[in-house]
Amino acid sequence: MSAISLQGVSKRFGETEVLHGIDLEIPPGEVVCVIGPSGSGKSTLLRCIAFLEEPTAGLISVYGEPLGFALGPDGKRQRLPRARIHAVRSHIGMVFQQFNLWPHMTALGNVSEALKTVRRLPVKEAEARAMAQLEKVGLAHHAGHYPSQLSGGQQQRVAIARALSLDPKIMLFDEPTSSLDPELTGEVLNVMRALAADGMTMVVVSHEIGFAASVGRRIVFLDHGRLLLQGGPQEVFRKPRHPRLDQFLDTYLDRGAAMLL
C-alpha cells in the first residue's frame, strides 16, 4: 500500500489553476524531493498533502485512508467529517520554511505541546518524550530557550522535533532551508538525512538540488502545476535531460552548484 497516493489532484485559486491533475504514488519509506521553478505549484502540492489547502478536484489517501474527501456512492467527491480528517492528518508531520515555532513557548514547550493538548499525556511523560525528540535533533541542552533565543538552524531543528512529536508516519518539508544561511543549512539537512536513514517517508520541497540528488530516492519535477518528470535522481538528472529541467537546472549551475550534478 502506498504511504501517500494522489489521484488527479488539482487546485485552483479563483481563476488560476495551480495544480493540474497530479498523480503520484509514494511507497512507505521513500524520500521524494519535489523540485521546480517558483510558482510551479510545489508548495501547494505539499500543502494539499498536509490538508492545509483543500484540493479542488482529485483524491488523496494516506496509508489507504482518504484524506479530507472520499468518493460517495454516487461517484461524487464528498467532504469527510472533521474527526476523520484530524485522524488522518495526525500521521503527517509538517515542517515550514519559516519554522513557525510558537514564540510564547520554550523549545521543550513547542515540542511537548501537541502531546499534552492533543494526545492528553500527563505533563511529565509529554516532556520526557519531547526531550527525547530534542535529543535526536541535538538540542536537548537548549530545551529551556525561547524561539527568539535560538538561531534559525536551531529553530528549524526544534520545528522538526515538534513535527515528529506525535510519531507521524510521513514528514513533509516545505523549503526547510530556504530561509537559512548556508552555514546553518547543513545542520538541518543532517537531521533530515538521519530521518531518511531511519526509514521515514518524506516529501521534501527544496531548492537544495544537492540534497535532492543525494538523499532523494525519487525526484519529482513540477512545472506550471504539472508533474513533468519523475524518477530516481540518476534517471532524472542524467543527460540528455528534459529541456525544461535543463533550463531550470541552469539557474543552479549559474550559482556554482555544477559539481553537485
Number of CB atoms found within 10 A of residue 195's CB: 21
Beta carbon nearer to another protein, 86 or 255: 86
Q: How far is the CB of 195 from another protein (least distance, A)?
A: 17
Beta carbon nearer to another protein, 84 or 224: 84
Residue 101 near residue 158 (C-beta atoms within 8 A): yes
CA-based Rg of the chain, rounded to a whole angstrom?
A: 19
**Rounded Cα–Cα distance for residues 131 and 16 (Å):** 44
Q: How far is the CB of 223 from another protein (least distance, A)?
A: 26
Beta carbon nearer to another protein, 173 or 221: 173
Q: How far is the CB of 126 from another protein (least distance, A)?
A: 13
Residue 127 near residue 206 (C-beta atoms within 8 A): no
**Rounded Cα–Cα distance for residues 222 and 244 (Å):** 10
Residue 155 near residue 174 (C-beta atoms within 8 A): no
| Residues whose CB is less than 8 angstroms from the CB of residue 209 and which lie 6 or more positions away in sequence, other chains included | 35, 249, 252, 257, 260, 261
Beta carbon nearer to another protein, 159 or 188: 159
- H helices of the chain, in order, are 42-49, 82-89, 107-117, 123-136, 152-164, 182-197, 209-215, 233-237, 243-254
Q: How far is the CB of 92 from another protein (least distance, A)?
A: 7
Beta carbon nearer to another protein, 46 or 189: 46
Residue 62 β-bridge partners: 4, 65
Contact positions vs another protein (CB under 8 A): 50, 52, 86, 89-90, 92-94, 96, 98, 100-104, 113-114, 117-118, 146-150, 155, 159, 162-163, 165-166
**Rounded Cα–Cα distance for residues 151 and 12 (Å):** 36
Q: How far is the CB of 152 from another protein (least distance, A)?
A: 9
Beta carbon nearer to another protein, 106 or 206: 106
Q: How far is the CB of 214 from another protein (least distance, A)?
A: 27
Beta carbon nearer to another protein, 162 or 207: 162
Q: How far is the CB of 157 from another protein (least distance, A)?
A: 14
**Rounded Cα–Cα distance for residues 232 and 217 (Å):** 6
